[in-house]
Structure 1
Amino acid sequence: MESIRILIFYLAVPSLLLSAMSQILSWRKKVGRQTKKFPGPQQFPIVGRVHDIDRFCMWKKFKEWADIYGPIYRTSMLGQNFIIISDEKIAEELLMKRGHIYSGRPQIRALFDHKTGPGYVALMDRHEIWTRQRKWVHAAMVEFHRSHFFGIIENEVKRYLAVLLLDPAKFHGNTREHCGRIMSRLAWDDASQGKENGDSADCTLTQMSVSGPIVNTMTPLWEIPWAFNPWKKYERAREDRQRAWWLNSFHIAKQRFLRGELPADTWSNRYLTGLQQQGNLSLEQTPQEEEFASCMLGFQNLVGVVTISGPMLFFLMAMVLNPEWQRKAQEEIDRVCGDKMPTTSNMADLPIMRACLKETTRWRSGVPLGVPHQAEQDDEFRGEKIKKGTIILACEWSINRVPERYPDPENFHPERYLEKEWPTYQEPLSRYPNLREGVGMHTFGWGRRTCLGQHIADDEMFVTGAGVLWAFNLIRKKCPKTGEVIEFDSEATNAHVILEPLPFPCDFQPRSAERASQILSGYAEVRDQLRV
């Protein structure tokens, strides 16, 4: 094993030296050519400013620099130019009003061909495959939201509450599985894939993240020949397994559809119905067409797990750490819902509950760096030249901590959406706050690359979060020896591009014996409809 490491090192050295020489020549040519109008931290030859950045929490360094250099500044890392934005208005100017320029995606080195497709619509460049997939997914989400996802979320929440009641210690993994079950049921009518879906999503995010494979930061290592390249071999096997799973699920759904057994409330049914409406009654497709469809449905299925499980876990954490808001939300739920578990029909009447969810996504950003955009052509902004290929990061962690917009930003304040004296207040409270529209929607991205999952995130987080508070009191755990409350780091995460908090201590206590009985009877009512 040691000899292999040494061989890899020596194979990497030439490419690293060539990269260094290229950067030195490029740096020398640029010296004296122009005066930069955007400020930024001091840059060093070759490395730029990568040496003092913690790749497991880069957003904190970007926030530190924003406090020094202002709401827009430059930096670079190993030859890649970055513009970091910490102001909503500037982000809107570049990423929305100039979305035709700044809607590319940068290369993620540890993934194969993600910019060309069809595997990951959120990571593709803008081209015909991206347009077709994005258009279909958007229409499907909107259509299903009109029916609030046909009660699938409510049924799975009843199961989730029973799981929390019977096995509360595993709430972290079970929350991710819960989100995976909902997406797998909507995609293929197979909620039993929930755990596999969650695990696959987590593995994919690892490959996408700066905190993942070292080749995402030390990119020359990717060019090591295949025979000695563990990163390429691992990713090839991982992606092949994922694609095979998606394609097999698509084939099963197609056969069930032809037999009349696939429920209409699935995305695969919607897609196959569309093919028949276009005249393809037998659903014959080329391998390329099947790959396109299975990847579109598979990635839609996959991405809906971590984008919701992370914020949901942060919500549970917020309720543990802020018991006064837990009580306020429970009082509101009891007043409106009584002995019935909350559903989407109760959303308009539960503004405190919605405010707690909205504040969670601000207080602990699920995507603290923001998803990167890339300039697709040369541009100029405020007198500054921005070259094609520059990566633009609207740093969510920083944007959510602008004190003029979000006073006392480090603390949890749902009242910022409920009381008129706060800058983020909106009326009517029967509509705002929510996760689909209004202030603070930058959580879901910008412009033409805005996440398409706001509708399901809004419904799923509301029903799940309100269901948990209806069912349980969330209590700080105490040390059995000392009786002292167990402290934990509320910013400790898996450091992926989309975050989940690391497991934290929390007790789930049924609010009463009657409520515990209602949890079990509610699950019994829907158990036969679920694959468990």
Structure 2
Amino acid sequence: MSLPLAFFVAGLVLLFVSSRQRQRSYPLPPGPRRLPLVGSILDVPKENAHLVLQRWSRAYGSDVLYFEILGTHYVVLNSCKATVDLFERRSNVYSDKIMEAQTDLSRTGWGRNWGMMKYGNYWREHRKMFHQHFRERAVPAYRPRSTRAVRQMLRSLCETPERFKEHISFLTACNVLGTMYGIDVKPEGDPILGLIEDALRIFSAVANPGVYLGALVRFLPAWFPSAKFKRDAAAWSPMVEEMYLRPYREVKAAFEAGTAPPCVTTEILAELCKDRTAPIDPILEEVVINTVGTGYGAAVDTTSAALESFILAMMLFPEAQRLAQEELDHVLGNDRLPEFDDRDSLPYVTAIMKEVLRWRPPGPLGVPHKSTRADEYAGYYIPAGSVIIGNIWAILHDEERYPDAESFKPARFLDSNGQLCEDVPDAMEVFGFGRRLCPGRYFVLDTIWLSIASVLTSFNIERPVDESGNVIEPTAEYTSGLISHPLPFKVAFKRRGCALLDM
């Protein structure tokens, strides 16, 4: 062996030994018991995982936790500091988002979701395309459509208030589908809306740690008892594919015929095709399909969940509702509905929006990241390929950041003069972390803010009463899953005026 080659081999050996010693020199973060082969599968929660992981953090005295399921490593971050340190300051290691076999989204058709794609150039193409149309300065162009959608929801609430959840869902779907595809959907029996709802239920069901067995499932045949995920995914995939492809094909056909309405998809196609009938590069067309499809798939469910929580909060905390309505009446009078230009004059309404997102975040565990190499943090070893979960719930209910965190207190975001306070952190964690922060957040916040301001202007939200005059109290409990909604509850909407609703 030549001397240079000997030095090279010796260097590799030293590097390997050093790496192994480094791994052994740091313990794994604390967490539940790990059994041979199966790991922590008996202890990992399948429901309300965000609450259990928060309790574990307190019990173990650590904001970093570890558990394992059939060979897949999971690291949970329960503090803002930990998420900033890893997702932002070490984003080169923690920006990947590929999911293991337990939630292998490519099997379900959700592999098109570019928000879940492996970090790299292909993902960057998607984000660049989306960001171009949803950056902060681009979003005001969509406000007229958002305003129309919100006012349609108000009229629907006047007619059938008991169906408020359906009206909220239609608002979000109508607004997002119209913005993305220029599609005017029907409130009743629209096939595209049904397709979206089914596909989103699939995504929420599988993207939750512990729902299915871990990484070893990929090696099991579909008929094996523990490989239920493979059987489910085979049935789900055509449905999710159709959700992505059907609206795109309709808009593309209209674009080629010169009859497509203005929307994000037609803007993208116009940029790519100087000649309407010219073929698009197949790979680039897949980027377009994935980008616009993920946009509406991501926004519809999260926005609906936030607005349902707003309705629940106003019923549970009437004093916050009263203060917001006093502010609205002072600014608007009694003869008009709020506009986006009123936002700076309505700080308490904005504080309610911020507190709704903090108090009951739509996605309490967020979407997991994945580490691309072994790392050390806070004296703990983090294995390569670990699924990294930012516990949004725990961060937004941290008593040091938000005293009396379980209470609903919009005033925590205001200063002594009643203006928005820059010293109190916004609940931006609901939109993710680091390089994978949701680029559609400005559009979503616009919809939520105008909906909150408009509903409070138009209605008093109250506890309903039964036939005997007894007040019906809501359970205030929530569903489990990637997106968490309030369990069904009844509410009374009482008109406060505004003749515009009768037009």
Fold in common (TM above 0.5):
yes
* Superposition TM-score, scaled by structure 1 size: 0.81
Distance 1:499 1:333, change over 3 A: same
- 1:47 Cα shift? 3.7
Taking the aligned partners of 2:462 and 2:56, their CA distance within structure 1 comes to: 37
2:89 paired with 1:97: yes
SS at structure 2 position matched to 1:109 = helix
For the 8 Å contact 1:144–1:150, the answer to whether it is kept is no
Residue pair 1:110, 1:208 contacting (<8 A) in 2 also: yes
Q: Distance in 2 between matches of 1:117 and 1:170?
A: 30
Answering whether residue 460 of structure 2 is matched by residue 462 of structure 1, we say no
Q: Distance in 2 between matches of 1:85 and 1:96?
A: 13
Instruction: String of CA shifts for 1:242-275, please: whole Å, max 9, x gaps.
Output: 32343232222123223333233x1111111111
Match of 1:155 among 140, 144, 148: 148
Q: Are residues 391 and 219 of structure 1, via their aligned partners in 2, closer, same or farther at CA, if it must alter by over 3 Å?
A: closer
Shift, 1:197, TM fit? 5.7
Aligned to 1:259: 257
Q: CA deviation at 1:230?
A: 6.1
1:198-245 deviation line (CA, Å, top 9, x unaligned): 514532323433389x5x236655655346776435433433233234
Matched with 1:238 is 236
Shift of 1:337: 1.9
Deviates more, 1:201-210 or 1:454-463: 201-210
Could you tell me which residue of structure 2 aligns to residue 217 of structure 1?
A: 213
Q: Deviations over 1:433-469 (max 9, x none)?
A: 9xxxx63321211111111121111100011111111
Contact 2:108 2:233 in 1 (8 A): no
- 2:126 match: 133
CA deviation string 1:121-155 (max 9, x = no partner): 11111122211011111111027744241400000
Following the alignment from structure 2 to structure 1, what is the Cα–Cα distance between the partners of residues 175 and 312?
22
Q: Distance in 2 between matches of 1:130 and 1:259?
A: 31
User: What's the CA shift string for 1:69-99, capped at 9, x where partnerless?
Assistant: 2222323233322222222122101110100
Retained in 2: the 8 A contact 1:141–1:456? yes
User: Using the alignment, how far apart are the partners of 2:438 and 2:105 within structure 1?
Assistant: 22
Q: Distance in 1 between matches of 2:158 and 2:197?
A: 23
C-alpha distance in 1, partners of 2:109/2:33? 35
Cα root mean square deviation, aligned: 2.9
C-alpha contact (below 8 Å) 1:247/1:291 kept by paired residues: no
Q: For each residue in 1:7-40, what CA deviation from the matched residue of structure 2 results, as whole angstroms up to 9, or x when unmatched? A: xxxxxxxxxxxxxxxxxxxxxx99x955616333
Say if 1:52 and 1:227 are closer, same or farther in 2 by CA, change over 3 A.
closer
Contact 1:83 1:392 in 2 (8 A): yes
Secondary structure of the residue aligned to 1:404 is coil
- AA aligned opposite 2:64: I
Report the Cα distance in structure 2 between the residues aligned to 1:57 and 1:322, rounded to whole angstroms: 24
Is contact 1:247–1:290 with CA below 8 Å preserved after alignment?
no
Counterpart amino acid of residue 159 in structure 2:
L
Structure 2: how far apart are the matches of 1:125 and 1:201?
21
Query: What is the CA–CA distance in structure 2 between the aligned matches of 1:195 and 1:508, rounded to whole Å?
Result: 26
Out of 263, 272, 275, the residue aligned to residue 275 of structure 1 is 272
More displaced 10-residue stretch of structure 1: 180-189 or 105-114: 105-114
Contact 2:478 2:484 in 1 (8 A): no
Report which stretch shifted further, 331-340 or 198-207: 198-207
The SS at the match of 2:73 is: strand
- Asked if 1:184 is matched to 2:177, the reply is yes
2:10 matched residue in structure 1: none
Q: Tell me the CA shift for residue 485 of structure 1.
A: 2.1
Residues 349-428 of structure 1 mapped to structure 2, 5 A cutoff: 349-420=345-416, 425-426=421-422
Cα distance in structure 1, aligned partners of 2:261 and 2:329: 34
Superposed CA deviations along residues 295-329 of structure 1, whole A, max 9, x for unmatched, are 22111121110121111110111111111111111
Larger CA deviation: 442-451 vs 483-492: 483-492
Cα separation, 1, equivalents of 2:449 and 2:138: 13
* 1:347 aligned residue: 343
Aligned to 1:4: none
User: Which residue of structure 2 lines up, in the alignment, with residue 50 of structure 1?
Assistant: 41
Q: Are residues 1:142 and 2:140 paired?
A: no
Q: Structure 2 counterpart of 1:100, which letter?
A: N
| 1:59-138 map, 5 Å | 59-68=50-59, 69-105=61-97, 106-107=99-100, 109-113=102-106, 119-138=112-131
TM-score where L is the length of structure 2: 0.86
After superposition, give the CA deviation of every residue in 1:482-516 in whole Å (9 maximum; x if it has no partner).
x33222322322x121222121111111124xx3x
3-state SS of paired residue (2:429): helix
Query: Following TM superposition, by how much is the alpha carbon of 1:65 offset from its aligned partner in structure 2, in angstroms?
Result: 1.1
Instruction: After superposing the two structures, state which structure 1 stretch, 80-89 or 174-183, moved more.
Output: 80-89
Partners of 1:197 and 1:347 lie apart in 2 by 35
Residue 320 (structure 2) aligns with: 325
For 1:78, the aligned partner's letter is L
Contact kept, 8 Å, 1:114 with 1:123, in 2: the verdict is: no
Q: Cα 1:116–1:371, aligned 2, differ >3 Å: closer, same or farther?
A: same
Does residue 508 of the first structure (1) align with residue 493 of the second (2)?
A: yes
State whether residues 56 and 211 of structure 1, in contact with CA within 8 Å, keep that contact through their aligned partners in structure 2: no
Shift in CA distance, 114/93, structure 1 to aligned 2, threshold 3 Å: farther
Q: Which residues of 2 match residues 426-505 of structure 1 at below 5 A?
A: 426=422, 439-481=426-468, 483-493=469-479, 495-505=480-490
Q: Tell me the distance in 2 between the aligned counterparts of 1:268 and 1:315.
A: 31
Contact 2:108 2:237 in 1 (8 A): no
Secondary structure class of the residue paired with 1:191: coil
Question: What is the identity, as a one-letter code, of the residue corresponding to 2:489?
Answer: F
**Alpha-carbon separation, structure 2, partners of 1:406 and 1:176:** 30
Q: 2: distance between equivalents of 1:412 and 1:345?
A: 26
CA distance in 2, matches of 1:455, 1:417: 19
Structure 2 match to 1:311: 306
User: What corresponds to 1:519 in structure 2?
Assistant: 501
- 2:287 corresponds in structure 1 to 292
Structure 1 residues 394 and 336, CA gap change in structure 2 (3 angstroms): same
Looking at structure 1, the residues matched to 107 and 232 of structure 2 have their Cα atoms a distance apart, in angstroms, of 16
**CA distance in 2: counterparts of 1:188 and 1:312, whole angstroms:** 23
- Would the aligned equivalents of 2:199 and 2:240 in 1 still touch at CA under 8 Å? no
Q: Which residue does the alignment assign to 2:11?
A: none
Identity of aligned residues (%): 26
- Post-superposition offset of 1:182: 0.6
2:297 matched to which residue of 1?
Answer: 302
Q: Measure the CA separation in 2 of the matches of 1:35 and 1:144.
A: 46
Relative to 1, partners in 2 of residues 1:53 and 1:380: Cα closer, same or farther, differing over 3 Å?
Answer: closer
CA contact under 8 A between 1:118 and 1:292: conserved in structure 2?
no
Look up the SS of the partner of 2:67 in the other structure. Answer: strand
Aligned mates of 1:35, 1:135 — CA distance in 2: 39
Q: Is the 8 A contact 1:73 1:84 kept in 2?
A: yes
SS at match of 1:83: strand
Give the residue type in structure 2 aligned to 1:43: R
Query: SS of 2:39's equivalent?
Result: coil
Q: What CA distance in whole angstroms lies between the structure 2 residues aligned with 1:355 and 1:187?
A: 29
Aligned equivalents of 1:381, 1:111: Cα separation in 2: 27
Return the letter of the residue paired with 1:62: L
